[in-house]
Chains A and B, each alone.
Chain A
Amino acid sequence: MSTAARMAVAAPSAPDFQIAVRGDALTAVCFTAMASPCEVLLETADMQEVAELARAAAHEAWRIERKFSRYREDSVVSEINRSEGNPVAVDQETAALIDYAAQCHALSEGRFDVTSGVLRGCWRFDGSDRVPEVAAVARLLPLIGFEKLQWRSPQITVPPGMEVDFGGFGKEYAVDRVLAILCTQFPGAVLVNFGGDLASNCAPTQAPWQVGVERPGTDREARLLLEFSRGGLATSGDTHRFLERNGTRYGHILDVRTGWPVPLVPRSVTVAAGSCVEAGMLATFAMLQGRGAEDFLEAQGVRYWSLR
């Protein structure tokens, strides 16, 4: 292993996947990617037929992780973040993700921002009471703001000290991509589920997919059971990721304009939409509204489940 690879402290995903028959009409492919358990359900009981599809699914997830993880030194994201203010020319796929980040930034009126990751420098949501100093947060604010980037496809220039991070929709993107790849090779129903963010082309012949959405951090309704047939479903929540000091809870949804947590966010918001990226972004936008999360979702005309 090269030294550079060793210096990237992150743990890459397990290069392994399992195939198992579920019931009499489904086959499951399981692997780990993006620090999440990943499962793909295919409407067939033929494990042989699935082998090649399983490989394609896992490899696509690992490819996206390898290419866009900010934890990997050899990722495109790390390359952009290391550029020290120099322009970086990116490939078409990366350009599409940056375009998407730009559109989400505009649609959310600046609340959703892929440059907000630098706030991790002072916020560690580990359940402790280590709330950062006001001055420490303020010092990072000049390094945040998508509008400070120069983006003229295919060239991006990130000012020194700033960072971009596609973590806000990377997993959802992988879910949609894996589904799209499987649909070109498999005629039956497919459900792709990466740690609770999921997408499907259609329901199996017998009955809709039964989906259990984890909503940890609460005593009641820990698992949301729902029926799902096609499109995307994604959940945003502050679950275990918060700080608590003097009775005040600081959730991990940060307001990029202040650098401080958005107050009064729901514990969890699950949204159903046309694709997983779309559902995930709607859930994130809702969380960024704090108290107004549910009103926001109702105004969008989407199916959602919120938990406070």
Chain B
Amino acid sequence: MQLKRPPSALHLGLMAASCALLSPAARVQAADSVEQPFELDSALLYYKENSGRVQTIEPVVSLKKDFGDQRILGGTFTVDSLSGATPNGALPSRKPQTFASPSSTSLIPQPGKKTTLYTIVPGNLPQDPHFKEQRFAGDADWSQPLGLDNTLSFGGHASTEHDFDSLSVHTDYSRDFNEKNTTLSAGVSEEYDQIHAHGGNPVPGSDYELYEHEGGQTKTVSGALIGVTQIMARNWLMDLNYTYDHSEGYLTDPYRILSVLDPLGSVTGYRYENRPDSRGRQGLYWVNKVAFGTTVLDVSYRRGKDSWGIGSDTVDAHLRIDLGRGVYLEPHLRWYHQSAADFYDLYLSAATPAPQFMSADPRLAAFIGTTAGLKLGVTIGRYGEMSLRLEEYEQRPSDQSSALPQLQGLNLNPNLTATIAQLSWRLQF
């Protein structure tokens, strides 16, 4: 059915159009624009606890390089400097209280020893005003496909600060099923930490006045994760994860102490806290992402439980609202609740022998934490994005007062409020 005829005007037009499409000019451009973008994420995080407590400024730089075929190398570098006052664990008192900063090597000024003391006025929460710390952290991750439907990733993390060094490695494997509508993942991780507090690690549970210190200590954390990600509908993605991790070693906070009180509530002394040397933690994490047109709702619930008796619930919701013209708004609400660790108490009683394990760390107390925030994002060009996030956090401990006569009217465990601001940029090139 072959016909020899001159090309029609239409055919000539189509030839010209096709030649233009495949012309060397277009070709060179296409070859140049081979998309293996470099993605640079940077952010500046500002965190400030109110009433003169800790504040930090944390620059984060993260780089991601796509080598094509879903082979991705990522790396993050963070520097943060914390400064401000941090509670030492002792209770407010009707009398002035004097403590030594951890950098001191003695509680009493004496030749050859360095002593930095701070005194707390009656009624105030004892806080170390000299707290200052700088941390450098970096991590690297490699992810690549393994055969058709599998992805393997592994990575490492290292951080260092004056009194704490941490190294960890992890590997994750995921497999897609069901035309990539279902993904099963599993991962393991191992972390090794060294704790060498200013002036040596205090002997856990020892009398503060005796100032007994020992050398550096270590701890290890082994973790495992299994999860399933399921696309429920075109616009609904669900993620269910179970995590377990086990910590072993020196889990005590070397700077935390507890007040020892007589039956009237007067201070008779202080003790360094002492925590069990192992801890098992389980978490069940359920995430839903649902898109309503260009609006995306992200709701998650997490249930946590650990061998120290802390049970926790987190409900977290983000709503990303597309305002058009590359601008989006993202309100965020988070509610968190935890029960206290078995060995947590506000103070120790001088009338009874000290228990084996004890801590007055507010992070181990029962409390409710709420976060409310708003993020505004603007996309710039094809690949860039800039966003500003502002959040308020409030932590309300359930145990704030005591019936002991000397403690009446004192707020023993005040609410904590914090402001978080984060400015982020993302660039692809």
Residues of A within 8 A of B (CB): 1, 3, 6-7, 9-12, 14-16, 59, 62-63, 66-67, 79, 82, 84-86, 88-89, 91-93, 96-97, 99-100, 103-104, 107, 173, 176-177, 180-181, 273-275, 277-278, 281-282, 285, 298-306
Contacts and interface: CB of A to CB of B under 8 A. Distances in A.
Interface string B28-40: 0111011100000
A163 B4 CA distance: 39
A107 B17 contact: yes
Contact of A59 (B68, B181, B326, B381): B68
Contact of B11 (A62, A63, A302): A302
Interface stretch (B80-88, B229-237, B258-266): B229-237
Interface in B3-60: 3-8, 10-11, 13-23, 25-27, 29-31, 33-35
A86 B151 contact: no
Interface in B219-254: 229, 231, 234, 237
Contact of B325 (A63, A86, A274, A303): A86
A86 B148 contact: no
A6 B7 contact: no
B145 interface: yes
B234 A9 contact: yes
Nearest to A58: B69
A97 B11 contact: no
A275 B19 CA distance: 8
A66 B35 CA distance: 9
A109 to B, nearest CB: 9
Contacts of A1: 70, 143, 151, 174, 183
Among A10, A88, A104, residue most surrounded by chain B Cβ atoms (within 10 Å): A104
Given A96-B26, A278-B18, A16 B68 contact: no
Given A7-B231, A107-B13, A282-B11, A100 B21 contact: yes
Contact of A303 (B2, B11, B19): B2
A194 to B, nearest CB: 15
A278 B7 contact: no
Given A82-B294, A104-B17, A301-B3, A93 B324 contact: no
Given A1-B174, A100-B18, A302-B11, A63 B34 contact: yes
B5 to A, nearest CB: 3
A96 B1 CA distance: 34
A304 B2 CA distance: 7
B69 to A, nearest CB: 4
A7 B15 CA distance: 39
Contact of A300 (B11, B68, B183): B11
A67 B35 CA distance: 8
A97 B23 CA distance: 12
A15 B181 contact: no
B237 A3 contact: yes
B315 to A, nearest CB: 19
Nearest to A108: B10
Given A1-B174, A15-B70, A180 B22 contact: yes
Among A11, A273, A300, residue most surrounded by chain B Cβ atoms (within 10 Å): A300
Contacts of A278: 14-15, 18
Contacts of B392: none
B95 interface: no
Given A91-B29, A301-B8, A282 B14 contact: yes
A244 B1 CA distance: 30
A96 B57 CA distance: 47
Interface in B117-164: 143, 145, 148, 151
Contacts of B113: none
16 contacts: A1-B151, A3-B237, A6-B229, A9-B231, A16-B148, A63-B35, A96-B21, A96-B29, A100-B18, A107-B17, A173-B22, A176-B22, A278-B14, A281-B14, A301-B4, A306-B1
Contacts of B183: 1, 6
B80 to A, nearest CB: 25
Contacts of A273: 15
Interface in B281-332: 289, 291, 294, 322, 324-326
